Amino acid sequence: MPGTVFLQLDGVGHHVLRGAVADGLMPTVAGWLEAGHRLTPWRTDWSSQTGASQLGILHGSNEDVPAFRWYEKDTGRLMVSNRPASAVELQRRAVRRTGTPVSSPSTGPPGQPLQRGADQLALVLSMAARRGRRNRSRAGYFAYFSDPANAVRTAGSLLAECVREVCQSTRALLRRETPRVSRGGTYPFVRAFATVVERDVVVSAVMGDMLAGRTAVYADLVAYDEVAHHSGPHGRDTDQVLARLDRAIALIATVAEHAPRPYRIVLLSDHGQSPGATFESAYGLTLKELVRAGCGLPVPRRVRRTRSGSEARDAARDALRSALHRPVDESGETARSCPPGPPSRSSSPRGTWGSSPSPTCRTG
């Protein structure tokens, strides 16, 4: 019986993958397409992000996941999809809603926020808040770095990626490329971890599962998504990441030829991306600062000087004056509001208000 390896290329849209194949950046995927395999687009719902998509892929439902981050009034909780506690709660709700099992044999999904039915878990975010010998979320890292050769090779690549990010960020700054987000501070290390450490550990875990003959393996490669969020979905930075992802796919395909059972490899993505400015870069203040200004709360002087902040403060001031003002009639008496009576037949009628594709590539 053949096994199945699901490789999620996080954030890689259908048009991005098509373009990478056409430009020769991903020869492995191009070879599969030439051999007759299909590349099919699909569309996410309103919440176009990894947590919601993986709930749908692994559990069959992403109900009540409106965004990446949201506040729940009934529970008073701030839900953030990439936080372990929130991931556990979202998974619990999906299991309760759909009845999908939490544990079943022969599935190992490394490098992803959520899991379904796995008897071996490595690098799974929803397991980070749990404790136990079988469910150690970081077990994959310990197993990988226990080999000195792996540790030295990945450490060298980590440093090279940090230098690469600093050079690319400096070049974008000198060229005044827009839209642009901050890429300083610890971000070079964050990017290096996602594009080097996480990739190497996940690929190693997938190959180990294949050589062990597991029936199904699901892994998430987040390198492109991390870089595209800061450098944009198109360009030199992301092209290099896509080329390295293709080499990782080729390595996994090579190992599949030596596995004790045949494997089908399925490439899929959870969402795509499109270029656009952040709220702060477009309006000069954050959404939080705009809300504070609109509520008449103290905000920095920088915010008050922006057009949006000034308009919000003026609106708050006008609302406050309207609330405090009481109209006075000609006799000097303060007018009192009376409850409206039943509408007359001659009254005028009033109107009422009524209530990026991702790819799937399969090879067998």
Q: What is the pLDDT of residue 333?
A: 52
**Contact call for residues 103 and 119 (beta carbons, < 8 A):** yes
Enter the pTM of the model. Answer: 0.77
Arithmetic mean of pLDDT, 315-344: 59
**67-76, 131-140, 275-284 — which is least confidently predicted?**
131-140
CA dihedral 5, 6, 10, 11 (to 10 degrees): 130
Q: Is 115 helix (H, G, I), strand (E, B) or coil?
A: coil
* pLDDT confidence bin for 237, thresholds 50/70/90: very high
Q: How far is CA 287 from CA 203, 290, 293, in A?
A: 39, 5, 10
Q: Which two tokens stand for residue 303?
A: 């915010």
Q: Is the pLDDT of residue 342 over 60?
A: no
Q: What is the pLDDT of residue 122?
A: 57
Bigger pLDDT: 280 vs 16: 16
- CA–CA separation, 27 and 21 (whole Å): 7
Arithmetic mean of pLDDT, 116-126: 56
Of all residues in the chain, the percent with pLDDT exceeding 70 is 77
Q: What are residue 359's DSSP bridge partners?
A: 41
Q: Which domains does the chain carry?
A: 3-276 (3.40.720), 283-321 (no CATH)
The per-residue DSSP string of 47-109 comes to --SHHHHHHHHHHS--TT--SSEEEETTTTEEEETTSHHHHHHHHHHHHHHH---S--SSEE-
